[in-house]
A and B are shown apart, each in its own frame.
Chain A
Amino acid sequence: MRIPMAGKALAEREFIVNATPDRVWRLIGKVIFSVLPGMESMEILDENNFRSLLRVKMMGSEWVLKLKGEMVDISPPESFSVRLLLEGLGGLVKADQKVTLAMTPVEKGKTSVTCRATAEDMGFLQRAFLTRQARMFARETFEAIEKRLKELA
């Protein structure tokens, strides 16, 4: 399945998992919450919204940011997106990212998984200081998703 482009692309990763899309869908919800780097104290607000604290290394120090997430465009077993709103350092850090995962069946019960992160809303200062962090966060997340999905498939 093609992911429509929107916002500024931060990272993208595509890989094949040895499982059907239904099986990947069953795994993906649990996987994504267990691999977000630095995520702590998750609170599920309702079935499609959560918030948590995110411990990140930035500018040589460790910082705790508030993360709010909303599942959007859920279309089982093909795709879903997570809208991530990050906030911290007394309002200095504010970022709005969208992570989209799409599952496409390929031959012999395998599934192609495409992960894409886009920056939806960032001011000039945010862009200057945070883009690198956001890219790194997205890449680490996608690598961890791939690793865990392949372990479980």
Chain B
Amino acid sequence: MKVSVPEKWDMEYDVVVVGWGSAGTVAAVTAHDQGAKVVILEKMADGGGNSSICGGNIIVPKGKEFLEYLYALSFKTTEREILETFVEEALKNGDWIRQMGADVQVFRPLEVAYPTMIAGAGFPHVRGAENVVKYNIKGTPEEGKPSQRLWKFLSGLVSKRGIKVLTATPAQELVPNARGEIIGVIAQREGKRISIKARRGVILTCGGYENDPWMKWDYLPVKPLYFLGTPGNTGDGIRMVQKIGGDIWHMTRLACLIGFKAPEFEAAFWVAFLSEGFLFVDKYGRRFVNEAGIEIHEYYKELSHFDIEKMEYPRIPLWAIFDEQTRRRGPLSRGTAGYNRDLYSWSLDNSVEIAKGWVQQGKTVAELASKISMEPKVLEETLARYNYLSKAGKDEDFGRPREDLRALESPFYAIQLWPSLINTQGGPRRDKESRVLDPDRKPVPRLYAAGELGSIWGFLYQGACNIGEALVFGRIAGKNAAAEKPWS
């Protein structure tokens, strides 16, 4: 049911931005700099969303050939002209950041962890991959992790301009008039329903639905999934757009790693290994993949095998099996990214997590198997085979490279892992002007979207493109919304 137009509005602005992450900030700043009076509505107590807890890298492609790469990755789920616009504007991302008073540095890590956070293309065999270059906001670790530096920079742009931000104010409804134009937003603030008039336009930048259990169950290809990012992303923008008759797209798309879920924490812990001494097994103790060869955002593809005889996902949860050397190499969850990053500090040698029962330990494979309710004989056979292949230096079963193999020695350890979302990509369908479209592909007047909410990443995801996209379509949405003629 559509909301009726309030007789009297509680607040009036030119542009109302819903959601205060990267896309919302950039949209608000751009609209403000075009002369619009802007308000940002944020449901959480603070802004930042996934932007403040992600890897913090921003795509700034080397050249226009990047388009061919993205088009191949999109598998035709996103119109070429939208990707063209993205590439043209993404080339300017570095300059925009500099114009706004910060500096950038090229992200060039040595690739030491499994899964690997790579500096370059996630799909290096695809044409145009050499154009992938990631930047982050220049700074030292003492100045924060890249995403913290990013958020400090972006939130600073808002405060410098005095843009009004209403935190703890979830938007609930879009207000259309008789012509179908979106002319305002209904939100909840201090227990009251408030109406905010948008004289020029509304921009939705309120993230995906990775913390909405029903949407996840309906749309995503593996079940269950936990989330690594903000609990604030519950699909609010999607529901608001559906209520006014907007179209949605890319709902089955996700960026998905693996994580450990502790019952006392809302979000999962991203887990990565700092030594080659580990393997993955399914819930029956069978190895199923080249553990070192999975693209970091596409874990769900390896976990989505569904056994129709048993009516289950045998790889969910999976177990990572590792040894003493790997345990001592460093924390399984390193706090690089994720919502739990600032809530818990994983012990350097994983000993605290063993004591908590998060990590299981066994002197023998059989002892470990019994602790994780696995058939000892199966796990023993799996490990014996893995050790044999590792010592031979050739993984005939799954093709894991020699340098990524090491035989395991007693004592053994296991941690239960689940597919864990960085984010979802689905939401309102939009065009290259950031306009939200209806099911006939016509723009919903005065309504825009940017960022993870209905992102343009419809098939395979290239790392650092979500922030890159938030900057690009945040700018476009902010500029276009500010340029709308006031309706009153």
A binds B: yes
Interface-located stretch among B8-16, B20-28, B111-119, B168-176: B111-119
Assess A45 versus B141: contact at CB under 8 Å? Given A29-B112, A74-B108: yes
How many A residues face the partner with a CB closer than 8 A?
26
Map CB proximity to B onto A39-62 as digits: 1 under 8 Å, 0 otherwise. 011111111110011000000000
Cross-interface CB contact of B274 among A32, A33, A74, A76, cutoff 8 Å: A33
Report B438 CB to chain A, min CB distance, Å.
42
* Chain B contacts to A: CB under 8 angstroms: 107-113, 117, 119, 141, 145-146, 274-276, 328-331, 334, 336, 348-349, 402-404
Q: Does A27 contact B (CB under 8 A)?
A: yes
A-side contacts of B329, CB under 8 Å: 33, 41-42
A-side contacts of B331, CB under 8 Å: 43
* Chain A contacts to B: CB under 8 angstroms: 26-34, 40-49, 52-53, 71, 74, 76, 80, 152
Give Cα distance in the complex from A29 to B114, angstroms.
12
Q: Are A29 and B110 in contact (CB under 8 A)?
A: yes
Q: Are B109 and A47 in contact (CB under 8 A)?
A: yes
Q: Are A71 and B110 in contact (CB under 8 A)?
A: yes
**Which 4 pairs show the lowest CB-CB distances between chains A and B?**
A47-B109, A29-B110, A41-B348, A42-B330
Q: Are B109 and A48 in contact (CB under 8 A)?
A: yes
Q: Are A29 and B111 in contact (CB under 8 A)?
A: yes
Give Cα distance in the complex from A101 to B112, angstroms.
16
Give Cα distance in the complex from A49 to B107, angstroms.
12
Report B148 CB to chain A, min CB distance, Å.
10
B-side contacts of A49, CB under 8 Å: 141
Report A75 CB to chain B, min CB distance, Å.
8
B-side contacts of A26, CB under 8 Å: 111, 403
A-side contacts of B402, CB under 8 Å: 152
A-side contacts of B276, CB under 8 Å: 30, 34
B-side contacts of A71, CB under 8 Å: 109-110
A-side contacts of B403, CB under 8 Å: 26-27, 30-31, 152
Give Cα distance in the complex from A46 to B144, angstroms.
9
A-side contacts of B119, CB under 8 Å: 47, 76
Q: Are A44 and B145 in contact (CB under 8 A)?
A: no
Cross-interface CB contact of A46 among B141, B275, B330, cutoff 8 Å: B141
A-side contacts of B274, CB under 8 Å: 33, 42, 44
A-side contacts of B349, CB under 8 Å: 40-41
Q: Are B275 and A44 in contact (CB under 8 A)?
A: no
Give Cα distance in the complex from A49 to B276, angstroms.
20
Assess A47 versus B117: contact at CB under 8 Å? Given A30-B276, A40-B349, A152-B403: yes
B-side contacts of A80, CB under 8 Å: 110
Q: Are A46 and B348 in contact (CB under 8 A)?
A: no
Give Cα distance in the complex from A47 to B118, angstroms.
9
Residue of A nearest to B120 (CB): A76
Report A68 CB to chain B, min CB distance, Å.
10
Report B67 CB to chain A, min CB distance, Å.
24
Q: Are B330 and A41 in contact (CB under 8 A)?
A: yes
Q: Are B334 and A43 in contact (CB under 8 A)?
A: yes
Cross-interface CB contact of B107 among A32, A47, A52, cutoff 8 Å: A47
Q: Are B110 and A74 in contact (CB under 8 A)?
A: yes
Residue of B nearest to A27 (CB): B403
Q: Are B275 and A34 in contact (CB under 8 A)?
A: yes
Q: Are A46 and B336 in contact (CB under 8 A)?
A: yes
Cross-interface CB contact of A44 among B107, B113, B146, cutoff 8 Å: B113
Give Cα distance in the complex from A44 to B403, angstroms.
20
Report A83 CB to chain B, min CB distance, Å.
12
Q: Are A52 and B110 in contact (CB under 8 A)?
A: no
A-B contact pairs, 7 of them (CB 8 A): A26-B403, A27-B403, A30-B403, A42-B274, A43-B334, A47-B107, A76-B119
A-side contacts of B107, CB under 8 Å: 47
Give Cα distance in the complex from A152 to B348, angstroms.
28
Assess A46 versus B111: contact at CB under 8 Å? Given A27-B403, A41-B328: no
Report A79 CB to chain B, min CB distance, Å.
12
Give Cα distance in the complex from A30 to B276, angstroms.
9
Most buried by B among A27, A28, A42, A45: A42
Known A45-B141, A46-B145; further 13 A-B contacts with Cβ < 8 A: A29-B109, A30-B112, A41-B348, A41-B349, A44-B113, A44-B274, A44-B334, A46-B141, A47-B117, A47-B336, A49-B141, A71-B109, A74-B110
B-side contacts of A29, CB under 8 Å: 109-112
Give Cα distance in the complex from A30 to B273, angstroms.
11
Report B216 CB to chain A, min CB distance, Å.
29
Residue of B nearest to A40 (CB): B328
A-side contacts of B334, CB under 8 Å: 43-44
Q: Are B111 and A30 in contact (CB under 8 A)?
A: yes
Report B150 CB to chain A, min CB distance, Å.
13
Give Cα distance in the complex from A148 to B339, angstroms.
37
Give Cα distance in the complex from A26 to B329, angstroms.
20
Report B149 CB to chain A, min CB distance, Å.
10
Give Cα distance in the complex from A2 to B328, angstroms.
36
Give Cα distance in the complex from A46 to B110, angstroms.
11
Report A151 CB to chain B, min CB distance, Å.
8
A-side contacts of B109, CB under 8 Å: 29, 47-48, 71, 74
Give Cα distance in the complex from A48 to B141, angstroms.
9
Assess A46 versus B328: contact at CB under 8 Å? Given A34-B276, A152-B403: no
Give Cα distance in the complex from A71 to B110, angstroms.
8
Residue of B nearest to A29 (CB): B110
Q: Are A76 and B328 in contact (CB under 8 A)?
A: no
Most buried by B among A31, A43, A52, A152: A43
Report A133 CB to chain B, min CB distance, Å.
22
Give Cα distance in the complex from A53 to B330, angstroms.
10
Give Cα distance in the complex from A71 to B112, angstroms.
12
Q: Are B110 and A44 in contact (CB under 8 A)?
A: no
